[in-house]
Structure 1
Amino acid sequence: MESKSKSIIALAMGTLSMMICFMVWLSLSPLVGVILSHNGIELSEFQRTFLLATPILLGSIMRIPMGIWSDKFGGKKVYIILMLFLIIPVLMVPRVNSFGMMIVAALLLGMSGTSFAVGISYVTGFFPPEKQGLVLGIAGVGNIGTAFSSFFFPRMEKVWGLNSVFYTLIILLIIFVLLMFFIAPESNKNEDASMLKSLAVAKEKDTWYLALFYFLTFGLFMAMTNLLSTFMVNLFNSSLIDAGLWAAIFAVIGTLTRPLGGYLSDKIRPMTLLKYDFVAITVSAIILGIFLKTQAIFLIMMIVIGVLVGLGNGIIFKMVPFVSDSNTGAVTGFVGAMGGLGGYFPPIILGVIKQATGTYELGIYLIAVFAIICLVLLQRVYISGEHKIVK
Structure 2
Amino acid sequence: MIRKLQLPLQTLSLVVGFMVWVILSSLMPFINEELKIPPGQVAWVTAIPVLLGSVLRIPIGYYTNKFGARWLFSISFLLLLAPVYFISQAASVTNLIIGGFFLGIGGAVFSIGVTSLPKYYPKEKHGIVNGIYGVGNIGTAVSTFFAPVIAKEIGWHSTVQLYMILLLLFAVLNFFFGDKHEQKVTTSVTEQIKGVYRNEKLWFLSLFYFITFGSFVAFTVYLPSFLVSHFGLEKVDAGMRTAGFIALATFLRPVGGWLGDRYNPLKVLMVVFGGLTLFGLVLSFSPTIELYTAGCLGIAICAGTGNGTIFKLVPLYFTKQAGIVNGIVSAMGGLGGFFPPLLLSILFSITGHYAIGFMALSEVALASLVLVFWMYYQENLQVAKTIVDNTGEAILITDARGIIQDVNPSFSKVTGYRKEEVLGKNPSILRSGRQDSAFYQRMWGEIKNQGFWQGEITNRRKNGEEYQQWLTISAIKDEAGELKYYAGMFTELRPVHAEMTP
Is 1:177 the counterpart of 2:161? The answer is: no
Matched, 1:259 2:254: yes
Please identify, of 157-166 and 310-319, the stretch whose mean Cα deviation from structure 2 is larger: 157-166
Alignment of 1:124-139 (within 5 A): 124-139=118-133
With over 3 angstroms needed to count, the CA separation of the structure-2 counterparts of 1:193 and 1:33, relative to structure 1, is same
On the 8 A contact 2:212/2:333 being kept in 1, the answer is: yes
* Cα deviation code 1:309-355 (max 9, x no counterpart): 10001111111112322322211100000000000000000000111
- Find out whether 1:16 has 2:22 as its counterpart: no
Question: For 1:104-143, what aligned pairs fall within 5 Å after superposition?
Answer: 104-143=98-137
* Partners of 1:30 and 1:240 within 8 A in 2: no
Shift of 1:76: 1.0
Name the CA distance, whole Å, in 2 between partners of 1:96 and 1:194: 40
In the other structure, the counterpart of 1:32 is 28
Within the candidate set 132, 153, 160, 1:159 is matched to: 153
Query: Which residue in the other structure is 1:225 paired with?
Result: 220
Based on CA coordinates, which of the two structures has the bigger radius of gyration?
2
What percent identity do the matched residue pairs reach?
A: 36
Distance across 2 between alignment mates of 1:185 and 1:52: 34
Q: Match for residue 282 of structure 1?
A: 277
1:207 alignment partner, one of 202, 205, 210: 202
What is the alpha-carbon distance in structure 2 between the residues aligned to residue 46 and residue 376 of structure 1?
Answer: 34
CA shift digits 1:194-217 (9 cap, x unpaired):
221232322322111101000000
Q: Does 1:241 find its partner at 2:233?
A: no
Query: For residues 1-150 of structure 1, what are the structure 2 equivalents within 5 Å?
Result: 5-38=1-34, 41-150=35-144
Greater helix proportion:
1
Q: Letter of the aligned partner of 1:380 in structure 2? A: W
Q: Distance in 2 between matches of 1:30 and 1:387?
A: 47
Choose between structure 1 and 2: higher strand proportion: 2
Q: Provide the secondary structure at the position in 1 that maps to 2:320.
A: helix
> Offset at 1:37?
4.3
Instruction: Give me the CA root mean square deviation.
Output: 1.6
1:304 aligns with 2:298: yes
Question: What TM-score does the superposition give when structure 1 sets the normalisation length?
Answer: 0.94
Select the structure with the greater relative contact order (CA < 8 A; seq sep ≥ 6): 1
Q: Find out whether 1:316 has 2:306 as its counterpart.
A: no
Asked whether the 8 Å contact 1:60–1:339 carries over to 2, the reply is: yes
Structure 1 contact 76–180 (Cα < 8 Å) conserved: yes
**TM-score, structure 2 as length reference:** 0.74
Contact 2:281 2:359 in 1 (8 A): yes
Change (3 A) 1:387 1:306: farther
CA contact (8 A) 2:314 2:325 kept: yes
Q: Match for 2:65: what amino acid?
A: D
Unaligned runs of 5+ in 1: none
C-alpha distance in structure 2 between counterparts of 1:150 and 1:383, whole Å: 41
Asked if structure 2 preserves the Cα contact closer than 8 Å seen for 1:156 and 1:164, the reply is: no
Greater shift, 358-367 or 317-326, is seen at 317-326
